[in-house]
Amino acid sequence: MFPLSCEALRVKLKNIRLRRQLTVQCDCYQRDTCSGFTAVLHNEKAIVLSFRSTTRFMQLVEEIEKSVFVKIQSSWMFGVKVSKYFGDGFQKPWDDYIALNRMYPVYGIWVTRHSLGGSLASLTASYPIGSNSSMPNGMKLVTFGQPRTGNLQFSITHNSQLKYSFRVTHWRGVVPHIPLQRAVHCYHHNEEAFYKYNMAANSVIICSDMRCSDGLWLNSSIAEHKHYFGKQMDDYGESGWVLKE
């Protein structure tokens, strides 16, 4: 997870408890892994669920193959469908969430991650609300460069469940535009926080229409997908990295 970003944040966010990091095989060739960690921020009264992004570019190719060419989708709650790749990787951190929620029932739930991990985060944020184990007002979801995750009904259901939900995208980054919507009928949920160019604070647009990244003629940049807020995503996990005030 860049590997464990909470190590980098420990100097700024006090009173953190890391519960566990989980790593599981998540592709059909058994060569790549999905990973996540659970933690508690006592000062913020929040339980954090975070999922690691794609470890190799070939893992992203595997996700595309499983979603686009094989066209297999997993059943989800309320009769909706989600990409089988994401559905396969979701279930593992669930026991940790249940345990932490019982220990800290008044804490909010913060769910986050980048790229492939963003879709796993999206499923994780949706599931406790749908299973009546968490209230919608306590759930916050923020993802970065998230791919399309489920069918149209999944998108509609997600929008009705979560009031605090943002998909941060960077200019022409490629991953938010896969799998192809017309090919497998995968859709995004609200809201997109679309940053242009160098991701200056005044460049963000909050929308879910062609004013955001779908309105660009070209959106195939791998470099911009891996670069957020002036840093390569891998740099955010370095132990010595310090947040700006």
Domains and CATH numbers, the chain: 5-234 (3.40.50.1820)
Residues 106-147: tens digit of each pLDDT:
999 999 988 888 988 998 898 888 877 777 778 999 999 998
What percent of the chain shows pLDDT beyond 70? 73
Q: Which pTM value belongs to this model?
A: 0.86
Range with the poorest average pLDDT among 30-44, 76-90, 100-114, 179-193: 76-90
Kindly tell me if the per-residue pLDDT of 21 is higher than 70.
Answer: yes
CA distances from 85 to 21, 23, 25, 151, 237 (A): 20, 15, 11, 14, 25
Residues 42-75: tens digit of each pLDDT:
999 999 988 775 566 555 655 665 554 455 567 7
Q: With contact defined as beta carbons under 8 Å apart, do 63 and 116 qualify?
A: yes
Q: With contact defined as beta carbons under 8 Å apart, do 145 and 169 qualify?
A: yes
pLDDT of 184 = 79
φ and ψ at 161, to 5 degrees? -85, -50
Q: Which parts of the chain fold into alpha helices (H)?
A: 5-9, 57-64, 84-90, 94-103, 116-130, 152-161, 181-184, 222-225
Residues 187-207: tens digit of each pLDDT:
999 999 999 988 998 999 999
**108 by DSSP, 3-state: which?**
strand
How many Cα atoms sit within 13 Å of 78 on the Cβ side? Answer: 21
Model confidence at 31, pLDDT cuts 50, 70, 90, reads low
Provide the token pair at 63: 């996700």
Residues 80-91: tens digit of each pLDDT:
777 766 666 666
